[in-house]
Amino acid sequence: MNFAFKSIWKEKCRSLLMILLISISVFLILRVVTTSFAFKIQQKMIKSMFKTNMGRIYRLDFSSIPPGKEGEKINSIKEFAMRYENVSVSAYDETTLYFKELKNNKEYRERNATILKGTILEDYPGISDVVMIEPNMLNYINFSLEENDFKPILIDGEEYLPLFVGSKYSDIIKVNTILTIEYNNTKYIVKGYLGDNDIWFNDSDPITDTPIKLSTKFFAPFSASDKTDNMTQLSTVGKIFINLGENKNHLKILEEIDKFALNENVKMRISNLAEFMELWEKSQKNIAKFGYILAFTITFCSLVSVIASLCVSVFLRKKEFGIRIAYGYSKKDIICSVIFENLILVGISTIVVYMYYFLKVQAMKFTTVNVLLVTLKSYSLWIITIFALLVLIIISILPIKLISEYQPVDLIDGGE
C-alpha cells in the first residue's frame, strides 16, 4: 500500500493528468446517466398523478381567441363540453397574489423572505404563491384532497371558499383564518394544511416539466369571478384537461367540441395526453442517445490516453520493479500494487466528481421536485460505482499483461 502511495506521489504530474482524464469520463457518464434516469423518474411521477387512463384525457391549447372575450369564450367551451355525459373539464393555474391579511404580516414576511431568497420574488416577501384549481379535477388526479374538500363554507350567512396552506406556514397561519385576495376581494377560509410530500403539476407545462412541491404554496379553488376573467382564463391555457371517462363515442364528442369552438371564432388544438407523453418520451430518448454516444466517445479517448500513460509508466519503472523483486517482492505483489495505484486514481476521480455534482445539484434553488437529486442518490450512485469498477478493470488489463510477460531477469537488469 505504501509502495502505491509513494509511486503516485513520485509521479504526481502523471497521476494528476490521469485523474483529470478519468474525471472527465466519470463526469460525462454521471451527467448523461443522471439526466436520462431523472427523466424516467419524472415521467413515472407524472403518470402516477393520474387516477384514470391518460389515453382518455385530452388537453386544450388555444391559438386564437377574440380579443377582450378570452375568459367568456374559454368558459363557454368548457360548459359546452360538460353537457356530455361523464365528461368533465377542469383547469389549474399557479399565480402570485396578495392576501390583505398577510401582505404586511411581520411573521409571514419574515418566513417568506427566507423561502423566497434567491428567487425572482425575493423582493416581495408579502406575496403569496397560490395554485388555483377547478375541484372536479381531483376526481381523476391522485392527491391528498378530494373534490368535496373544496365546497364553499357558510359562516353567519357569508360564503367563504376553502383554502389549504403549505406546511411551511402551519405555525403562522391557523385553521379558520380568513384571507382576502387583494385584487378581487374574494374571501377564503383556511381549512387545513398541505402535506410535506404533496406535489402538483408544473405551471409551465403539466407533462414535460417537473411537478412542484406544495410545502410553500397555497391551494384553493377558482372564485366565481375567475371563471370569465380574461387574464385568469388565459393563464390556464395549456392546463385545461377534458376527461372523457368511458365514453365510447369520444372522438365524436371531441369533434363536436372543436366545431363549437370554431363557431365561437376560437381556434384550438385538442391533444391526447398519452400520445403527447409518448412523443415526448421518444424525443427525450433521442437526446439521451446522442448524449450517451458523445459521453462514451470522449470516455474512450480519455481511457486510451490513460492506458497509454500507464503502459509507458510500467516500461519506465522496470528497474524499480526489478529492485523490489531483488528485495523479496514477488511479481504478484507488484501487480497488486499497480492495481491499487489505479484504484486510488479511479477512486479519487469518482468521489471528487460525484461530490461536486451532488453538491452542485443540492445547492440549486428548486421549487419543483429535485428529480436530479433523487436520481443521484439512487440510480446514478450505483451506475457510477459500476462504471468506476469497469474503468479500473479496463485501464489495468494491459499494464498487468506487460508486467506478467516480463521475466524477473528483465526487471532486475531494467531491460539493459
Residue-range domain boundaries for the chain: 2-46+278-412, 87-240
The whole-number average pLDDT for the span 239-252 is 85
Per-residue pLDDT, 52: 87
DSSP structure class, residue 415:
T
Please determine, for residue 131, whether its predicted confidence score (pLDDT) is greater than 90: yes
Per-residue pLDDT, 3: 61
The whole-number average pLDDT for the span 264-276 is 91
CA separation (Å) from 190 to 31, 35, 214, 254?
43, 39, 15, 38
Write down the number of H helices and E strands in the chain: 13, 12
Please determine, for residue 408, whether its predicted confidence score (pLDDT) is greater than 70: no
The 3-state DSSP composition of the chain as helix, strand, coil percent (nearest 5) reads 55, 15, 25
Mark residue 68 as left, alpha or beta (left: phi above 0; alpha: psi -120 to 50; beta: remaining). Answer: left
**Grid coordinates belonging to 316:** 519506465
Q: Residue 59 forms beta bridges with which residues?
A: 241, 271
> Best-predicted range by mean pLDDT among 216-220, 243-247, 298-302, 340-344?
216-220
Per-residue pLDDT, 416: 47
pTM value? 0.81
The whole-number average pLDDT for the span 252-271 is 90
Burial class, 59, CB count within 10 angstroms (exposed 0-12 / middle 13-18 / buried 19+): buried
| Rounded Cα–Cα distance for residues 390 and 178 (Å) | 61
Please determine, for residue 98, whether its predicted confidence score (pLDDT) is greater than 80: yes
Q: Are 60 and 242 in contact (CB under 8 A)?
A: yes
DSSP structure class, residue 365:
-
Please determine, for residue 15, whether its predicted confidence score (pLDDT) is greater than 60: yes
Instruction: Identify which of 278, 269, 263, 260 has the alpha carbon closest to the alpha carbon of residue 238.
Output: 269
Per-residue pLDDT, 117: 87
The whole-number average pLDDT for the span 255-269 is 90
Residues 363, 110, 185, CA angle at the centre, nearest 5°? 115
pLDDT in tens, 277-287: 999 889 988 88
